[in-house]
Every structure is written in C-alpha cells, then in structure tokens.
Amino acid sequence: MGKRYFCDYCDRSFQDNLHNRKKHLNGVQHLRAKRVWYDLFRDAAAILQEEQSKKPCRKFLQTGQCDFGSNCRFSHMTEQDLEKLSAQVQGEQRLKELHQEGADVPPGTIEDWLEKRAKRLSSAQNN
C-alpha cells in the first residue's frame, strides 16, 4: 500500500511521493486552506487595516451573500463591524501600553468583573 501523506490544512491524505506532494502543496485548494489557517491567528489591527483598505462588496451589501466568500477582494464588513473591530484594537493598544508602563492589569474580562460585582452587591444586600 505504501506511505500516505496527511495534510493538516486540507484534512486529507494521499499517496506520498514527490510528484503527488508537490502537486498538492502548489494546488489552489491547499494554498487557500493554508491562508485560512494562518488568518485565524492574525491580530485585530492587521485585520482592521486590511478591511479599511478594501472597498465594500456591493453584492454582499445588497443581498447579504457573496459568491466569492472569503476569497472576495472586497470587504464584507459593515460599519458596525468595523467600529467593533476598531474598539477592540484600541482596547488592545491600551492594554499593551499599560503592560509597558508596568501597571498592574487585572486579569479577566468585563463579564468576570460584572459577576464579581453582582456577587458583592447581593452579599451587601443580604447583610
């Protein structure tokens, strides 16, 4: 049967030889899957910069769908999405600045803080 090569990006396997591996690694499907994988780990600032440089996709704005999907060269983000992303970038920058200044930054999220606050308020009311 021979050795088989499994591609983690594409989630498929094939007979492992030089020709098959080269053909797969240079294929469009593999390159797209690899790009999608690495895009998962990009920071919000890079995503925001890229999306702001693109023009809005007309078809996506009109119908809510685009035939090209993630391969579309136009932006599929609404104004609200861009505002949220911009706020996230600003929050990350503030946090980074605080870390550089050496300030104590409490770990956790806003939800954690709200839960702790609700517990404190309920215990204060019970007393």
pTM of the model: 0.57
The predicted pLDDT at position 100 comes to 81
> Which pair of tokens denotes residue 68?
């090209």
CA angle 51, 54, 60 (to 5 degrees): 90
The predicted pLDDT at position 95 comes to 82
Flag the least confident range among 18-27, 44-53, 63-72, 118-127.
118-127
Domain boundaries, the chain: 1-41, 44-104
> Which pair of tokens denotes residue 46?
């890079």
> Would the pLDDT of 104 be above 70?
no
Span 35-52, pLDDT tens digits: 888 988 888 889 899 999
Our measurement of the distance from residue 107's CA atom to the centroid of its chain's CA atoms, rounded to an integer in Å, reads 22
Which residues sit opposite 14 in a β-bridge? 5
